[in-house]
């Protein structure tokens, strides 16, 4: 992600199918710039990447230790992005597993994780300062040895 992506990110975050998962967050351009500029400038540890279909931005994905257009939903882009992205995390940090939190109601996201070899290891209520993360959630784990399968 680069600064020139902010207008596209703002439009994407304002789409109804995305907005329902970004509760309490403004999708207007100044809010997007304020939230994501520190991440792309490197002053925060979260690394941001855009997901494209051809030249069209359809979402974003982020990585850190411990994203569509309405006509691009349910076409496998999320699964493909996760499948391509997970090995880069293992390559970058040489870790043994990944943990991902996802809202229980976000069925497409956790199905995509399952299709990429993630296993649900926890279900419960997540307390978070980020309203889009708080509430009933699942935690999924991916074992590093499974990353080789994703590359094939």
pLDDT tens profile 95-151: 888 988 888 988 888 999 999 999 999 999 988 776 667 789 999 999 886 555 555
31 pLDDT higher than 60: yes
Using pLDDT thresholds of 50, 70 and 90, give the confidence band for residue 77.
confident
Topology annotation, domain 1-75: Aminopeptidase (3.40.630)
Given the DSSP bridges, would you call strands 135-143 and 119-126 parallel, antiparallel or unpaired?
antiparallel
Q: What confidence tier does 10 reach under pLDDT thresholds 50, 70, 90? A: very high
pLDDT at res. 26: 86
pLDDT at 66: 43
Domain ranges of the chain: 1-75, 95-152
Average pLDDT over residues 41-63: 81
**Degrees (nearest 5) of the Cα angle 59, 71, 52?**
30
For the chain, give the mean pLDDT: 83
Q: Is residue 87 pLDDT above 70, yes or no? A: yes
Categorize the per-residue pLDDT at 85 as very low, low, confident or very high, splitting at 50, 70 and 90: confident
Task: Say what the pLDDT of residue 138 is.
Answer: 95
CA distance 105 to 85: 23
| pLDDT, tens digit, 9 for 90 and up, residues 53-67 | 778 887 788 876 544
Contacts for 125-131 with beta carbons within 8 Å, 24 or more apart? 126/101, 131/23, 131/24, 131/25
- Position 52 pLDDT exceeds 60: yes
């Amino acid at each position: 992600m680069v600064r020139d992506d902010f207008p596209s990110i703002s439009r994407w975050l304002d789409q109804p199918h995305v907005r329902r998962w970004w509760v309490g967050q403004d999708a207007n351009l100044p809010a997007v710039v304020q939230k994501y500029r520190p991440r792309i400038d490197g002053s925060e540890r979260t690394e941001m990447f855009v997901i494209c279909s051809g030249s069209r931005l359809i979402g974003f994905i982020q990585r850190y230790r411990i994203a569509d257009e309405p006509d691009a939903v349910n076409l496998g882009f999320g699964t493909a992005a996760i499948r391509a992205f997970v090995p880069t995390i293992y390559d970058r940090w040489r870790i043994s597993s990944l943990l991902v939190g996802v809202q229980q109601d976000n069925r497409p996201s956790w199905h995509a994780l399952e299709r990429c070899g993630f296993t649900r290891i926890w279900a419960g209520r997540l307390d978070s300062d980020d309203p889009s993360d708080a509430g009933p959630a699942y935690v999924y784990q991916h074992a590093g040895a499974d990353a080789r399968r994703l590359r094939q």
